[in-house]
């Protein structure tokens, strides 16, 4: 009986995993099937209409508030603090749902004051008092895309009523 060793090596030209040539075809197929099944078995939370609505509402509210960043921060400080509180609640809601790590990570990135999305934007507005309209417009595009990522993650989940 022949012994075969599976060696997985990075194939940088195709950005795929390639199995070394010394393995038989049926072993390659089995190995690839096993890898595929491991990836497809990762669990993900079910669709939540509440999380979806919350994210859409916060997107609209955030983009609207960002528009006012060309005016002094102090004029909108109460609204900013209210928005930050709502964002923290949305993050905690996402964090508390089972099998929802990917969405939770996206919320973390969005609200982190040390990053260049909404959290960083609000911090910069507070520190600089006003922001240029061009900066605001560009930041709104990035923040909108980040919210769309979270919305897309939620809308792509299986609705519990569809599994019955």
15 has which bridge partners?
none
Do 62 and 29 reside in the same domain of the chain? no
Domain count, the chain: 2
| Mean pLDDT computed over every residue of the chain | 82
Q: Is 59 helix (H, G, I), strand (E, B) or coil?
A: helix
Secondary structure of 94-149 in HEC code, one letter for each residue = HHHCCCCHHHHHHHHHHHCCCCCCHHHHHHHHHHHCCCCHHHHHHHHHHHHHHHHH
> What pLDDT does 158 receive?
78
Torsion of CA 13, 39, 32, 12, to 10 degrees: 10
1 domain-assigned:
no
Do 60 and 90 reside in the same domain of the chain? yes
Residue with tokens 């990762």: 42
List pLDDT tens digits, range 54-90: 999 999 999 999 999 999 999 999 999 999 999 999 9
> What pLDDT does 163 receive?
59
Do 35 and 53 reside in the same domain of the chain? no
Is the pLDDT higher at 135 or at 38? 135
Is the pLDDT higher at 147 or at 25? 147
Do 78 and 23 reside in the same domain of the chain? no
> What pLDDT does 139 receive?
98
Structure tokens at 101: 């790590």
As a residue count, the chain comes to 164
Give Cα 71 distance to the centre of its chain: 30
Contacts of 153 (CB under 8 A, 6+ apart): 102, 103, 106
Do 16 and 56 reside in the same domain of the chain? no
Left, alpha or beta for 47 (phi > 0: left; psi -120 to 50: alpha)? beta
29 has which bridge partners?
none
> What pLDDT does 3 receive?
45
Cβ-contact 119, 112 below 8 angstroms: yes
> What pLDDT does 157 receive?
86
List pLDDT tens digits, range 80-120: 999 999 999 999 999 999 999 999 999 999 999 999 999 99
Do 95 and 152 reside in the same domain of the chain? yes
List pLDDT tens digits, range 3-23: 444 444 444 444 444 444 444
pTM: 0.72
pLDDT for 142 beyond 50: yes
Range of the domain at 84: 49-163
> What pLDDT does 5 receive?
43
């Amino acid at each position: 009986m022949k012994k075969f060793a599976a060696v997985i090596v990075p194939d940088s030209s195709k950005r795929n995993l390639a199995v070394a040539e010394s393995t038989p075809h049926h072993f390659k197929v089995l190995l690839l099937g096993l890898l595929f099944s491991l990836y497809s078995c990762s669990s993900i939370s079910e669709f939540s209409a509440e999380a979806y609505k919350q994210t859409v509402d916060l997107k609209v509210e955030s983009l609207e508030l960002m528009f006012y960043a060309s005016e002094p921060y102090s004029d909108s400080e109460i609204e900013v603090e209210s928005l930050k509180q709502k964002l923290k609640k949305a993050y905690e809601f996402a964090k508390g749902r089972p099998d929802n790590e990917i969405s939770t990570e996206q919320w973390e990135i969005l609200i982190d004051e040390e990053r260049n999305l909404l959290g960083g934007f609000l911090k910069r507005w507070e520190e600089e008092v006003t922001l240029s309209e061009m900066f605001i417009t560009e930041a709104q595009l990035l923040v909108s895309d980040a919210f769309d990522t979270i919305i897309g993650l939620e809308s792509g989940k299986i609705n519990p009523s569809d599994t019955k």
